[in-house]
Amino acid sequence: MADKNSSSIVKRPAMTPEQKREQIILAFCYLVAIVLGLVNGFWGSEFWQTMGEFISNIFIRLFRFIAIPIIAVSIISTLATISRSAESGKIFKHTIFYTLLTTILAASLAAVLFEVFAPANVSMSGQQVQTDALNNIKGHSYFEYVESVIPDNVIAPFLSANVLSVLLIAAAVGIAIAKLPLGSKQQDLLITFFSGIQSVLFTIVTWIIKILPIGIFGFFTVLAMQMASGVALGGLGVYLTTVLTANFVQMLVILPAVLLIRGINPLRVAKGMLPALTVAFFSKSSAGTLPVTMSCAENNLGVKHPVSRFVLPICTTINMNGCAAFILITVVYLMQNAGADITLGTLLLWIVISTIAAIGNAGVPMGCFFLSASLLASMNVPILLMGVILPFYAVIDAIETTLNVWSDSNVAVLVNRDIYGKDGSA
């Protein structure tokens, strides 16, 4: 008979009756919020629909407000102590391995599906394009995008929520602290300071989590309103089907298979991460979802703090499965529309390029869209078709972000298993 613990992540003490009651009440609140949000979005008055949009925007702003500081202090705290523990180095190596593995799998799957679906070219005559958005992209190369990531002062990346720049600053500060004389007064003081800030931020996160059902009401109100407005696929149906299929197969087949190979139950992981996946879908920002992602990983799945508070902030900025798939399919599709011959060699090359580009993408709304456009512009490929894709990107972006957060969660759980074992001990 198989070991009952073979699908567990870590052993945790059984929940008390009070904790179970709290979980049931929270689940009930989520369900009520979802139902009320859908009813309001489809049939609510103009006032209540406006209120739902207002609540949705408020919660998205709250998550973005707390996300950037959490990324910074989590990376600094972890890297600052890396010289004190061989465990931190192991966590970093395993994180990079699983990030590359899942991203390459996503890009490779996208290449296979592009060949299978073979989306036909689109005639641009009579199509309505979003010229204002495209004018902001034209003339900007991928090198300019990379250049913008390098901070030229300390404050600007935090004000503009440039996640990659914040990551670079945090990494530099954390490594610099680690390089101070081991056990010195300066090192101990700085580590204590950033650890204290981290504790304060996570206390704020717990407050936000407690009122999350209100935010879910707003999220589902907005979703229902968008569904009620209708979406016309037109001639882009096969392209959109290819992108969405790549996301769903990666989400529902590939990543669960990786978990199962490591003896982890994907259904349990999905259940524990459900609040984070919900926020990811509606916020369309993996960075903005980070506070909820970390809370779910630690409280629902028992992922250790050294793992969750290092792996998840890192993955938020470099583990972009959905982005890798979107970049490959979109860039190759537009190259095909521009008359390029798409060969096996072309697809193999773009598996590599899209993997690297996705790792360099910021976890912000529409990040993949503008990055794809920058790649195309740098190759002088006409990007007018991006304007036709733009109206549908809201749906793609929501699903991509959900996939990205799901992949981040998987990486955290996998690293936790590798470092601490299935019983939670190192």
Give per-residue pLDDT as tens, 326-359: 989 998 998 888 888 888 888 998 898 888 778 7
Query: 5 lies in a domain?
Result: no
Task: State which residues form the domain around 163.
Answer: 16-420
Query: 51 lies in a domain?
Result: yes
Which of residues 8 and 415 earns the better pLDDT score? Answer: 415
Tell me 262's DSSP state.
T
Query: 203 lies in a domain?
Result: yes
Percent share of the chain, pLDDT over 70: 79
Query: 6 lies in a domain?
Result: no
Which residues lie below 8 Å from residue 312, measured CB to CB, with a gap of 6+?
Answer: 74, 290, 293, 294, 297, 408, 409, 412
Residue 416 structure tokens = 């936790």
User: In the predicted model, is pLDDT for residue 222 greater than 50?
Assistant: yes
Which of residues 218 and 120 earns the better pLDDT score? Answer: 218
Query: 425 lies in a domain?
Result: no
Find, among 68, 48, 240, 256, the residue nearest to 151 by Cα: 68
Which of residues 358 and 162 earns the better pLDDT score? Answer: 358
C-alpha torsion 248→254→256→261, nearest 10:
180
Query: 7 lies in a domain?
Result: no
| pTM for the full predicted model | 0.69
Domain count, the chain: 1
Query: 383 lies in a domain?
Result: yes
Query: 11 lies in a domain?
Result: no
User: In the predicted model, is pLDDT for residue 6 greater than 70?
Assistant: no
Which of residues 48 and 381 earns the better pLDDT score? Answer: 48
Tell me 363's DSSP state.
S
What are the CA-CA distances from residue 393 to residues 22, 231, 240, 332, 390 (Å)? 37, 11, 9, 17, 5
Quickly state the pLDDT bin for 14 (edges 50, 70, 90): very low
Mean pLDDT of the chain, nearest integer: 80
Quickly state the pLDDT bin for 391 (edges 50, 70, 90): low
Per-residue pLDDT of 182-202, as tens digits, reads 878 898 899 899 888 878 887
DSSP H helices, 124-265, are 131-135, 142-149, 156-160, 163-178, 185-210, 212-229, 237-249, 255-261
Could you tell me how far CA 167 lies from the centroid of its own chain? Answer: 15
User: In the predicted model, is pLDDT for residue 69 greater than 70?
Assistant: yes
Rounded CA-CA distance 176/98 in Å is 26
Quickly state the pLDDT bin for 272 (edges 50, 70, 90): very high
Rounded CA-CA distance 324/309 in Å is 24
CATH label of the domain that carries residue 223: 1.10.3860.10
Residue 186 structure tokens = 């300066």
User: CA angle 26-32-33, nearest 5°?
Assistant: 90
User: In the predicted model, is pLDDT for residue 318 greater than 70?
Assistant: yes
